[in-house]
Amino acid sequence: MGIKAVIFDLDGVICSTDEIHYRAWRAIADEEGIPFSRKDNERLRGVSRMASLEIILEKAKRPYSPEEKEALAEKKNQIYVEGLSSIGPSDIDPGARKALDYLGEHGLKKAIGSSSKNTKRILGRLGIADEFDVIVDGNDIKRSKPDPEVFALAADRLGLPHGECLVVEDAVAGIESARSAGCLAFAIKDARKCPLKDYEGENAGDIVPLLEEENR
């Protein structure tokens, strides 16, 4: 079998934090008088906190200093973290749960490759932090997706050739990242529009038929 491990993106794949991110950025944008729509929010998927702020500031009427940017990012994170207190084990995506169970039953490795610095907090709230062999998150990397760093590091920490790792992503930037790291890329949701994907499905649970096919 070619695929030995699956590296999951977190936000939008294991659980949906989109709305919590959106509300937090919205509060910041409103306070600063910067236009910010749900369409704008789509561009933030998979992108690091600072890079997300830069995208929001594209519509600002004045330039912001590095100190102001730091303060805005920090404030957004405080609002976001407060919002995270509402999530728990019932927020694990059912498809992701199915995929994790299959991997566990078949002795395949599981990893997380996320841009979020809140990854461990979120996995803790979902109660699944111990299920992963490797967790690479926003604290481990210098360059945000679509740079390959996050998935290359996850595959290296798994001790596997990158081509034996399947990445599951909901963001176009994540598919680009996975492919430039030399991993296989499974696209769900918004990421399906990315021509670089190797496979696609509705949710993370749809990797199961693919792995079953490979096992046959």
CB 189 to ligand BG6: min, Å? 11
Residue from 137, 147, 149, 170 that binds Mg ion (CB under 5 A)? 170
CB 73 to ligand BG6: min, Å? 8
11 is catalytic: yes
Binding mask 134-153 for Mg ion (x = CB under 5 A): --------------------
Q: Which residues 6+ apart lie within 8 Å of 212 measured at CB?
A: none
Query: What's the CA gap between 19 and 68, in Å, rounded?
Result: 25
Q: Which residues 6+ apart lie within 8 Å of 78 measured at CB?
A: none
What residue ranges bind ligand BG6 (CB under 6 A)? Answer: 10-11, 21, 44-49, 52, 77, 114-118, 138
Stretch binding Mg ion (CB under 5 A), from 26-34, 162-170, 180-188, 191-199: 162-170
Handedness of CA 148, 195, 198, 117 (dihedral sign): positive
103 vs 167, which CB is nearer to Mg ion? 167
H-helix segments, the chain? 18-32, 38-42, 49-57, 66-84, 94-105, 119-126, 149-158, 172-180, 207-215
Site of interaction with Mg ion (CB under 5 A): 9, 11-12, 46, 170-171
